[in-house]
């Protein structure tokens, strides 16, 4: 097992060790999409992000990280 193979959600930035809360399931989020090689995924709190994922857009889109201009 490698030391740094956490997956990060492209929708909200949560990861394997910091799951967010999935209100719909009343449980910590789980992975809807997961690519261990890329270290990215889409968690169950971000179902809308599966569309971008399925379109091949695997950039992390944590809302407060958008760039101006």
Write out the residues near Zn ion by the rule CB under 5 A: 9, 11-12, 14, 20, 29, 43, 45-46
**Complete edge-to-edge strand list for the sheet that includes strand 8-9:** 8-9, 40-43, 31-35
Q: How far is the CB of 9 from Zn ion (least distance, A)?
A: 3
Please, which residue, 27 or 68, has the CB nearer to Zn ion?
A: 27
Q: How far is the CB of 14 from Zn ion (least distance, A)?
A: 3
15-21 LR contacts (CB < 8 Å, sep 24+): 19/43, 20/45, 21/45
Q: How far is the CB of 69 from Zn ion (least distance, A)?
A: 26
Question: Which candidate, 16, 5, 68, places its Cα nearest to that of 43?
Answer: 16
Please, which residue, 5 or 30, has the CB nearer to Zn ion?
A: 30
């Amino acid at each position: 097992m490698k030391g740094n193979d956490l997956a990060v959600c492209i929708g909200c930035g949560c990861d394997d060790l910091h799951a967010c809360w999935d209100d719909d399931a009343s449980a910590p989020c789980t992975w809807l999409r997961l690519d261990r090689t890329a270290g990215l995924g889409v968690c169950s709190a971000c179902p809308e992000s599966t569309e971008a994922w399925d379109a091949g857009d695997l950039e992390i889109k944590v809302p407060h990280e958008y760039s101006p201009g």
